[in-house]
């Protein structure tokens, strides 16, 4: 039927049809590629300059060049730096062909743009490598390779993007020294206006994850830093994708707000951003975070009721549901229910194949210390102090702040 409609005057020929469809497929692929190039003004401008240079169209070359330079005078990114390099290369060749004295200047600009393009791209690779090593506990020989060391110690580029990513790498590779976070944050705030949206989001995401890790290590002052980052991200719509906020970001922001005792702000956020959650996760996310809010307001019955409306379709909600419920049972002194939950929760965590090693360690330590605390008399000050010291000496502990708060209440 297709052959007859396409070629009404031809007798059916399977080989002819195959050759024709293959040619059409190649044309379709070319169309997609050309259409993609047309959407990228910087790339298209460089192709135009190259074509006009080859045809000796000096007047048109200069007109396209002015527009291209204006288009490239934007936020700094690898793409812009790469096209600056290509543009400077074309201008250098143009200067040679026209016996212009500008050749040397274009040569230097081309070299600088290429250096900056490589430096920024390489730093991003190094940072992502560090991140993956932390997430998956990959043992890597300490120290930087020669290239990374050069970029950190000897690269003198004044590009704001490179300065930010250099400080980000220093922070992540020296995570035991908190002062590097302050330097990174100051550098980011000072230069953030020079970054494109993708790099603003990426750098803030790295900073948020760093603060979360520090909080889990027991450094509670990073709670303030984390909420500061989240508020900036919300104000600048950095956490919205197609108008939606990810349910994990929604949960993390609520946790940060509550831990900083900003109850009213957090409640307003939960309600305001409910409609920005995707429909398939909206019910779970809203009910869990509303339950968490009720818990912080000491409304334990309301918190437990909201938890009943959560479906266990996600490993994070399955874990957090149990973690919040154990705190509710503890606050209600429902110790029989708490003991049963602690045992079941520990089995659930150990058997869960979707949870990462870090996540399992976080929850198992929370279970362990909650069990120790529930089995300790408030009058046994010596044992309470011992549990507090154990918590302080353990890196990954879920709800560390709540555990310490309960111990401090018993000690006073």
pLDDT of residue 377: 94
142: pLDDT confidence band, cut at 50, 70 and 90?
low
Please determine, for residue 69, whether its predicted confidence score (pLDDT) is greater than 70.
Answer: yes
- 143, pLDDT greater than 60: no
Average confidence (pLDDT) over 217-226: 89
Q: What is the pLDDT of residues 310-356, one digit of tens each?
A: 887 778 888 999 999 999 999 999 999 999 999 999 999 999 988 88
| Domain spans, the chain | 1-37, 40-129, 156-238, 245-308, 312-412
88 or 263, higher pLDDT: 263
Q: Can you give the pLDDT at residue 197?
A: 85
pLDDT at 71: 65
Mean pLDDT, range 154-176, rounded to an integer: 90
Q: d(Cα 333, Cα 331) in Å, to the nearest integer? A: 5
> Does the pLDDT value for residue 105 go beyond 70?
yes
Q: Does position 375 have pLDDT exceeding 90, yes or no? A: yes
In this predicted model, which residue has the larger pLDDT, 41 or 113?
113
* Residue 72 reports pLDDT greater than 60: no
Chain center to CA of 68: 32
pTM: 0.77
| Residue 65: per-residue pLDDT | 79
Q: Nearest 5°: CA angle at 231, between 305 and 397? A: 55
pLDDT score at 148: 85
Where residue 198 falls (left for φ over 0; alpha for ψ -120 to 50; beta otherwise) is alpha
């Amino acid at each position: 039927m297709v052959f007859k409609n396409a070629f009404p005057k031809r007798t059916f020929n399977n080989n002819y049809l195959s050759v024709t469809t293959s040619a059409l497929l190649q044309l379709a692929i070319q169309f997609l590629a050309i259409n993609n190039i047309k959407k990228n003004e910087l790339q298209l401008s460089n192709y135009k300059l190259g074509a006009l240079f080859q045809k000796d169209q000096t007047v048109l070359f200069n007109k396209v060049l002015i527009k291209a330079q204006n288009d490239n005078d934007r936020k700094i990114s690898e793409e812009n730096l790469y096209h600056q390099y290509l543009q400077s290369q074309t201008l250098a060749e143009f200067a040679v062909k026209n016996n212009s004295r500008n050749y040397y200047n274009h040569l230097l600009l081309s070299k600088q743009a290429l250096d900056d393009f490589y430096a920024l791209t390489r730093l991003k690779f190094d940072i992502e490598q560090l991140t993956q090593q932390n997430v998956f506990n990959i043992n890597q020989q300490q120290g930087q390779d020669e290239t990374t060391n050069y970029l950190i110690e000897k690269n003198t580029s004044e590009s704001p993007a490179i300065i930010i990513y250099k400080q980000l790498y220093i922070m992540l590779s020296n995570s035991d020294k908190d002062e590097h976070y302050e330097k990174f944050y100051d550098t980011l705030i000072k230069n953030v206006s020079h970054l494109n949206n993708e790099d603003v989001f990426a750098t803030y995401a790295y900073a948020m994850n760093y603060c979360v890790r520090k909080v889990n290590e027991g450094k509670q002052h990073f709670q303030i830093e984390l909420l500061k980052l989240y508020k900036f991200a919300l104000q600048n719509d950095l956490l919205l994708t197609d108008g939606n906020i990810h349910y994990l970001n929604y949960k993390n922001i609520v946790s940060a707000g509550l831990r900083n005792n900003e109850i009213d702000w957090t409640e307003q956020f939960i309600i305001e951003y409910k409609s920005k959650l995707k429909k398939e996760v909206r019910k779970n996310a809203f009910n869990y975070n509303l339950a968490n809010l009720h818990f912080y307001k000491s409304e334990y019955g309301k918190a437990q009721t909201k938890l009943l409306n959560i479906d266990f379709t996600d490993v994070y909600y399955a874990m957090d549901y149990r973690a919040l419920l154990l705190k509710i049972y503890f606050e209600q002194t429902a110790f029989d229910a708490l003991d049963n939950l602690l045992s079941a929760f520990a089995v659930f965590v150990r058997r869960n194949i979707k949870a990462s090693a870090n996540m399992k360690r976080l929850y198992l330590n929370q279970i362990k210390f909650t069990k120790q605390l529930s089995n300790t008399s408030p009058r046994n000050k010596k044992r309470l102090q011992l549990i507090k010291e154990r918590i302080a000496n353990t890196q990954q502990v879920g709800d560390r702040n709540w555990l310490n708060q309960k111990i401090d209440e018993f000690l006073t």
